[in-house]
Structure 1
Amino acid sequence: MIEGRHQIKPRLILAVLFSLLLTGQTAAQCILTAEVGRLVEAMESAMARPDGISSSDAADLYRRAQRVSPPDVADRLREAGYPANTHAVDMLIREARTVAQNRLVMSQNVTRLRLRRVEKLRERVCAAEARLEMAGNGSKTHGGAGPSGDEAGLFTGSGGAGNVALRLGMVPVTLVSVVGTIYLMRLGYVWIFALLFNRRKCWVPARLKIGVDVIPGHMSILGRKGCRFQPESPELSLRMEAQAPCIDAHLIVNHLVLPARLEAVHEGFGVVYFGGMLGPGTQKSLLAKSRIEPTLVPKSTPRPKHARTRQPRRSPMGRPETSGAD
């Protein structure tokens, strides 16, 4: 658990924003058919009411299901170069009729699956049209003529040079999407870690005992696995660094003594692991002693610049432990 400042790189932020912008523009401008879009809205509204929908809402839902034309959807698919397979839409229509008749969504999971499949179909059609437009082969809109043979070849592998141009044109968009997804996954991970281990920014008076040396300071971040210990002065930080790493340390808060391990020193603060994971009650009592309001902070793992490279000191009865840093 090597602590450090959580920094968000500007380039990654721009990549995510650009990816979301592309997605938002596609969703706002591209639909399967207007009738399918209205049916999806009504189904989502019904799902938001687990206790059931009114008779008027049920009647409206049934009308919307009746107005969806699978042949129109099939034409839309053919325009984008896809087989005219309307199974996902057919299943959503059937589900909507069932919900309207019962005035209740019987299975949230089933209904969510129906909606997800229709949304995936819409995304594929819209992405296909975007690729056609980027490749310079002309964009198709709902109600227009079907694709030419050359355009259909872009999806069947018979498009020759046009197919190559299409794939090359999609490379930047694909890279942006991948980078954006990776960044969002990383951001989600650090916050999930913070929630699981309840990492809190605080300012709790404490002392770090290393052998016979006792260093006064504060815990500036406290989690269930360990803490960040900040000595009271730069001189004390240097004294702590000279003894790191050390497996025979103790963290003292008032009359509470916690077995601990000084893992490393980074920019003046010590990375400290507890001998065992703190219980929620113990952590709560420690945070109650904070001189500032404890706030949740994400996990971050920079490489310590001032960690000592020598072997950890051995206790008289034990062996050095592995760091287990996460």
Structure 2
Amino acid sequence: MKQRIFTLLLFAFAGLTACRKNDDNQPDIKQYDDAQIQTYMSANGLTGFTKDETQIADGATGIYYKIINPGNPSTGPDSLKYSDKISIVYTLKSMDGKYVATDTILNHFDDYLGHFVNSSYPQGLQLAIHDLLKYPGGSMRVLVPSRLAYGVRGFGVGSVTSSGRIAGNQSLDYYVHVIKDQAQYDDESINKYFAANSLSGYTKDPLGYYYKINTQGTGTIGDIGDYSNVELTYVGSMLNGTEFDNAAKTTATTMTPFGTIDGFKDVLTKHCTTGTSISVFIPSAIGYGRFQYSAIPPNSVLHFEMQITSVTQP
């Protein structure tokens, strides 16, 4: 019912603005965006937002924002600069309710803040992070007007009714968190995953990953070296459950630890032998780090379930 009322109000406002032209005989998009955002806030019971009056080329930005966590400007680093490399997680909804992306496991950005718009993110979100959120470790909710989002063309593929496309003239609702300490963030994410899924019995290795031996092996720990031939079945997934590597889920494959990511190699050489069945959660620093790898976003925690079939030496 709220969505229907919201849509009807927007159509009504569009009809009014069509009759009220500016000097260029065009509808006033700033007024349209502001009405769209205010109607959205009212329909969704959003309160405590501030309207940004920062002046840009065509006037005030018209961004509405609410700081959830300001970071720690009193003792932290200087405010964010466009030359700073940042890591963020975010959620996104279009105000017509047709586009929703709330998976913070997939929604990662890691690059220079100045490259934000070049990476297909809206100018309005870049301005909000730089001018309003300001500090690493901070988080905010920000409502970006369509003229500072994807404009009349929208974004994505498919028709305007497609769930994979943001329609034209859509203002956007973002939650964004600028990560200050990636290792701490990863550790918190792993422990939240444990709590949410009622998992227990994991041990934190000094290198930073968590492991649980489900079945003890029959060999001797230490038999696996960097160049040992390890035959195993395994599956790799992210914390949202998406499997990125299940080719060896049922059919054993052979690998040498030296050719794997640091966390995976350390697990094999320190905790595994023939017959070991083990579950492990690897933070991004000893996974694929700040780089996108295939379908794995930057700064991703990796989850592996593996069973060692045999170990032979070169």
Structure (1 or 2) with the greater helix fraction? 1
Smaller-chain TM-score range?
Answer: under 0.3
What TM-score results when the alignment is normalised by the length of structure 2? 0.21
What TM-score results when the alignment is normalised by the length of structure 1? 0.20
